[in-house]
Amino acid sequence: MPAQDRPDDTASSPLAGTRAQALQRLQVGISLLLGIVLIVGLANVIEERAKQSENAAVPEAAATVAPSPTAMANDPLADAGVVPDLPAEGADAPSPAPAASDGADDGT
């Protein structure tokens, strides 16, 4: 199509678009950058407030009663029935099988 048959708007527009389109892209980019800066600033304010609250908080109070000794730690898997109860003492457990002989008395 010859250049004279095209409308004037498309013939004179550069590859980047018209001036209005370029201005709109610039406005959108600037507004997105400002939004990101605001979000980062808000996150920084929240983090600083959390640090101030943590520093102002009273540490955990000391216990007023002596802790009761626990007899034995429970095994949640054994309580649920997934694994059998294992003896608490290592002495009651069966000893492993003796090691295999060195092959001297195999009868050959």
Contact 44, 50 (CB under 8 A): no
Domain ranges for the chain: 18-57
CA dihedral 22, 25, 31, 33 (to 10 degrees): -110
* Per-residue pLDDT, 51: 92
pLDDT in tens, the chain (108 residues): 555 555 555 555 567 788 899 999 999 999 999 999 999 999 999 999 999 988 887 767 666 777 776 656 677 777 777 776 666 665 555 566 666 655 555 555
> Distance between alpha carbon 15 and the CA centroid of its chain, in Å?
44
Contacts of 17 (CB under 8 A, 6+ apart): 25
Distance from C-alpha of 94 to C-alpha of 35, rounded to nearest angstrom: 69
